[in-house]
Each structure stands twice: as structure tokens, then as C-alpha cells.
Amino acid sequence: MFAFEKSDSAFIKHLMAKYVIEMLSLTKGKNGSELFAADQHYRIEPNPLDHVVDTVGAGDAYTAILSIGYLSNWPPNRILKQATEFANSICKIKGAIPDEPNFYMDAAAL
């Protein structure tokens, strides 16, 4: 992107400085995600899933919790943990919207 030939970390620092970004998340699917905030860097590996049914909606689920955490001033490590867990739960169902009405109860208790 923008012909930037350095590491992911260097590129993210460049983006954050150039566009005055306060917090940035880099998702890596089954390889976890990272959160960059000022001079801080957080990384999480997701718990292995026994059975992935469908990944549709996992990114949206992750982003929803990331947004809730940011707006609620959660610590970055909590944001990553909760976002990852919720995205994992979406991967266990078919499609992005669960049939079970109580599915969101754990997420609502965040």
C-alpha cells in the first residue's frame, strides 16, 4: 500500500502518524490480531477452534467489539481479548447471524 516496503509495524506507525490515527487494529484471521495505540503494541493469538463452521461475519463481529471497547475506554488488551472471543463465537455458526436468541447474551455482558 502506497509502495511502502518496510515491515507491518513500520507501515502502521507511518499511517498512524501521517493520518493522526489514535488506535489501529491489524487482523490476521486464524493467526490472531494486533492493536497499536500511540507507542504501545498488543498482540493476541486466538484460542484454537475445534470446529469452524463459517467465517462469514467474523470480521464484522471483531470490529463491533473493537468499537465498543474503544468507545468505552477499555484497556487495549481487553479490547483484543473480547473482540477475538466474539469473532471466534461467530465462526462456530452458519452465516453471520445466529438463530439462537441468547447468542448475544455473553457479548451484551461485556
In this structure, what C-alpha cell is assigned to residue 12? 502502521
What gap in Å lies between CA 72 and CA 6, rounded to an integer?
33
Q: What is the mean pLDDT of residues 50-72?
A: 92
Segment 58-70 shows an average pLDDT of 94
Domains of the chain are 8-108 (3.40.1190.20)
Q: For the chain, how far is it from start to end, CA to CA, in angstroms?
A: 35
Between 63 and 106, residue with greater pLDDT: 63
Mean pLDDT of the residues in the chain: 87
Cell representation of residue 37? 495505540
The model's pTM is: 0.84
Q: Which of 4-8, 19-23, 33-37, 55-59 has the lowest mean pLDDT?
A: 4-8
Name the nearest CA neighbour of 85 among 25, 24, 32: 32
